[in-house]
Amino acid sequence: MQLTEALTQRRSIRAYQDKAAEPELIREIFTLAQQAPSNCNSQPWHVSVVSGEARDKLEAALIERVSNGQKPVSAFKPYDIGFVGDFKERQISCAVELWNAVGIAREDREARTELFLDNWRFFGAPHVAFISMPLNMGEGNALDVGIYLQTLMLLMVDRGLACCPQGALALYPEPVFEIAQVPDDHGLLCGVSFGYADMEADKNKLKMPRLSVDECVTFID
* pLDDT tens string 111-129: 999 999 999 999 999 999 9
pLDDT per position as a tens digit, 73-87:
999 988 778 889 999
Comparing C-alpha atoms, which of 66, 191, 61 is closest to residue 132?
Answer: 191
Angle between helices 173-180 and 52-67 (to 10 degrees): 170
d(CA 140, CA 123): 30
pTM of the predicted model over 0.75: yes
Does the structure show a pLDDT above 80 at 1? no
d(CA 134, CA 138): 9
Q: What is the mean pLDDT of the chain?
A: 95
Residues 72 and 65: beta-carbon distance below 8 Å: no
Does the structure show a pLDDT above 90 at 169? yes
d(CA 173, CA 72): 9
d(CA 133, CA 7): 26
